[in-house]
Amino acid sequence: MKVLIPSALRSYTERSETEASGATLGAVLVDLDRQYSGIRFRMVDEQDRIRPHIRIFVNGEQIRDLAQPLRATDEVVIVQALSGG
Amino acid sequence: MAATSRKPAVRKQGPATRGRTSRSLPSRRVLVMAATRKGAWLYHSDAARKTWRSDGPHFLGHIINHLVLDPRDGRTLLAAAKTGHLGPTVFRSTDLGRNWKEAARPPAFAKAAEGEGRAVDHTFWLTPGHADERDVWYAGTSPQGLFRSEDGGVSWEPFSPINDDAQYRKWMGTVQDGTPDGPKLHSIIVDPRDPAHLYFAMSGGGVHESTDRGRTWTPLVKGLEVVEGFDPAEITVHDPHCVRLCPGNPDRLYQQNHCGIYRLDRPSDQWVRVGKAMPKRVGDVGFPMVVHPRDADTAWVFPMDGNTVWPRTSPEGTPAVYATRNGGRTWQRRDAGLPAQQAWWTVKRQAMTADTADPVGLYFGTTSGELWISRDEGQRWACMARHLPEIYAVEAAELA
CATH number (domain holding residue A8): 3.10.20.30
Q: Does residue B58 contact residue B95 with C-beta atoms inside 8 Å?
A: no
Decide: B282 and B294 in contact? Cβ < 8 Å. no
Our CA-based measurement puts residue A23 at a distance from the nearest CA of chain B, in whole angstroms, of 22
Cβ atoms of B222 and B270 within 8 Å: the answer is yes
User: Quick check: is A85 in a domain?
Assistant: no
Please count the residues of chain A. 85
Three-state secondary-structure class, residue A13: helix
Domain that holds residue A8: 2-80
Q: What is the pTM of this model?
A: 0.92
Residue type, B2: A
Of A8, A36, A45, Cβ closest to residue B83: A8
Assess whether pLDDT exceeds 90 at residue B49: yes
Structural domain count of chain A: 1
- Cα separation, B100 vs B6, in Å, equals 8
| Predicted ipTM beyond 0.95 | no
Q: How far is A37 from chain B (nearest CA, A)?
A: 6
What pairing do the DSSP bridges indicate for beta strands B29-36 and B39-45?
A: antiparallel
Q: Which residues of A touch B117 (CB under 8 A)?
A: 46-47
For the cut 50, the answer to whether the pLDDT of residue B208 exceeds it is yes
Tally Cβ neighbours within 10 Å of residue A85.
3
Nearest CA to B183 out of B241, B133, B138, B232 is that of B241
Which of B148, B266, B130 minimizes the C-alpha distance to B189?
Answer: B130
Interface contact B2-A49, CB threshold 8 A:
no
Decide: B204 and B236 in contact? Cβ < 8 Å: yes
A2 Rama sector, left if φ>0, alpha if ψ -120 to 50, beta otherwise? beta
Q: List the 287-316 stretch of B: residues with Cβ below 8 A of A.
A: none
Q: For the segment B79-103, what is each residue's pLDDT rounded down to a tens digit?
A: 999 999 999 999 999 999 999 999 9
CA distance B231 to B229: 7
Cβ distance of A47 and B85 shorter than 8 Å: no
Q: Is A58 part of a structural domain of the chain?
A: yes
Instruction: Sort out which chain A residues have CB atoms less than 8 A from B90's CB and list them.
Output: none
**pLDDT for A83:** 61
Alpha-carbon distance A13 to nearest alpha carbon in chain B (angstroms): 8
Residues of chain A found within 8 Å of residue B63, distances taken between Cβ atoms: none
What are the beta bridge partners of residue A77? A4, A57
Q: CB-based contacts of A76: which residues, under 8 Å, 6+ apart?
A: A1, A2, A3, A4, A20, A25, A28, A56, A57, A58, A70
> Of A9, A34, A36, A47, which to mutate for an interface test with B (greatest number of B Cβ within 10 Å)?
A47
Note whether residue A22 is domain-resident: yes
Q: What angle do CA A74, A76, A78 make, to 5 degrees?
A: 175
Residue A61 lies in a domain: yes
Q: pLDDT-based confidence at B353, cuts 50/70/90? A: very high
- Answer yes or no: are the C-beta atoms of B67 and A62 closer than 8 Å: no
**What pLDDT score does B256 carry?**
98
Buried/exposed B262-275: b ≥16 CB within 10 Å, e otherwise: bbbeeeeeebebbb
Q: Are B101 and B2 in contact (CB under 8 A)?
A: yes
Q: pLDDT for B152-205, tens place per residue? A: 999 999 998 999 999 999 999 877 777 788 999 999 999 999 999 999 999 999
Nearest-angstrom CA–CA distance, A12 and B87: 14
Contact B118 A48 (CB under 8 A): no
pLDDT above 60: residue B313: yes
pLDDT, position B141:
98
Question: Does residue A68 lie in a domain region?
Answer: yes
Task: Report the sign of the C-alpha dihedral through residues B327, B333, B338, B342, in that order.
Answer: positive
Residues of A with CB under 8 A from a CB of B: 6, 8-9, 11-12, 36-38, 41-49, 51, 53-54, 80-81, 83-84
